[in-house]
């Protein structure tokens, strides 16, 4: 299933015979003398063509961080926008963004589950309204498209929202059969029973999307696909 970024050189104070090391100025070079009690003399060195200094490109903010580090460092509004692609409840996204930084992925996923369990019915409805039913690739047989479309229509007619299911861990070749079988089974549920199961599927979807969000190197937040098959 699918969906975030120089070190100054230190100068040593080395000394030679109790004296500071002479500065190496442009156009001059140090020449040692026999008298060890005096500082080295300087004489003008041959003028050479200047060597252009290498151009360095400074890394952007957070370039040294991993995916989770970048997510932790994002501004609040950017983090919320990315999290809304994981779960469409604004309250859930605001809570998840406000509790940063997360020390590791397990802590982030646990926080996602906890925030998901705390969703009010209105929050869950908001999240479901942002979901779209899994669809087939356009190259799939027309009969499969028609069967899946009819199944989704029957589900939405009964429960009033899109059918959602987490297909993580299944091979793509299994997705269509799994979706059709799940819809047939869940059409027999009472609304309260189906609502609870749907909330659990939303929590699973959010977990998978968060993992994708924070493990992609150089991630820039963007929309996740709706779980196409």
DSSP letters along 68-113, please?
HHHHHHS-HHHHHHHHHTT---HHHHHHHHHTPPPSSHHHHHHHHH
pLDDT at 85: 94
Residue 110: CB atoms within 10 Å: 13
Please state, in angstroms and rounded to a whole number, the distance separating the CA atoms of residues 213 and 196. Answer: 26
Please tell me whether residue 33 adopts helix, strand or coil conformation. Answer: coil
Note whether 179 and 151 are within 8 A (CB).
yes
Can you give the pLDDT at residue 6? 36
Residue-level pLDDT, tens digit, the chain, 229 residues: 443 333 333 333 343 444 444 444 444 333 343 444 444 444 454 555 554 454 433 334 444 457 899 999 999 999 999 999 999 999 999 999 999 999 999 999 999 999 999 999 999 999 999 998 777 777 778 888 899 999 999 999 999 999 999 998 888 888 888 999 999 999 999 999 999 999 999 999 999 999 999 986 344 444 444 444 5
Q: What angle do CA 85, 91, 92 make, to 5 degrees?
A: 55
What is the Cα Rg of the chain in Å?
31
**Predicted pLDDT of residue 96:** 97
Q: Which token pair is 127? A: 């999240």
**φ, ψ at 15 (rounded to 5°):** -130, 155
Write down the pLDDT at residue 36: 41
Which pLDDT belongs to residue 140? 78
Domains of the chain: residue spans and CATH: 67-215 (1.10.3330.10)
Q: What is the pLDDT of residue 2?
A: 40
Is the distance from CB of 40 to CB of 25 less than 8 angstroms? no
Give the 3-state secondary structure percentages of the chain, helix then strand then coil, rounded to 5.
Answer: 45, 5, 50
Collect all residues with Cβ–Cβ distance below 8 Å to 102 and sequence separation of at least 6.
68, 71, 72, 108, 111
Cα 180 to Cα 79, 103, 144, 206, distances in angstroms:
35, 39, 10, 22
Q: How far is CA 16 from CA 23, 24, 34, in A?
A: 13, 15, 14
């Amino acid at each position: 299933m699918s969906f975030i970024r120089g070190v100054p050189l230190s100068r040593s104070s080395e000394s030679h015979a109790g004296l500071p090391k002479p500065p190496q100025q442009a156009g001059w070079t140090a020449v040692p003398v026999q008298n060890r009690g005096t500082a080295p003399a300087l004489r003008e060195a041959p003028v050479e063509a200047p060597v252009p200094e290498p151009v360095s490109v400074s890394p952007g903010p957070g370039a040294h961080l991993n995916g989770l580090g970048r997510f932790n460092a994002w501004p609040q509004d950017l983090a919320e926008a990315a999290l809304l692609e994981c779960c469409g409840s604004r309250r859930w996204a605001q809570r998840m963004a406000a509790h940063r930084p997360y020390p590791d992925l397990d802590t982030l996923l646990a926080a996602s589950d906890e925030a998901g369990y705390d969703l009010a019915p209105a929050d869950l409805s908001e999240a479901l309204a942002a979901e779209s039913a899994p669809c087939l690739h356009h190259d799939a047989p027309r009969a499969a498209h028609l069967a899946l479309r009819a199944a989704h229509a029957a589900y939405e007619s009964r429960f009033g929202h899109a059918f959602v299911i987490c297909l993580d861990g299944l091979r793509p070749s299994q997705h269509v059969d799994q979706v059709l079988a799940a819809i047939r089974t869940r059409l027999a549920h009472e609304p309260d029973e189906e609502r609870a199961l749907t909330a659990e599927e939303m929590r699973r979807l959010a977990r998978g999307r968060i993992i994708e969000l924070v493990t992609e190197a150089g991630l820039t937040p963007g929309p996740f696909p709706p779980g196409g098959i």
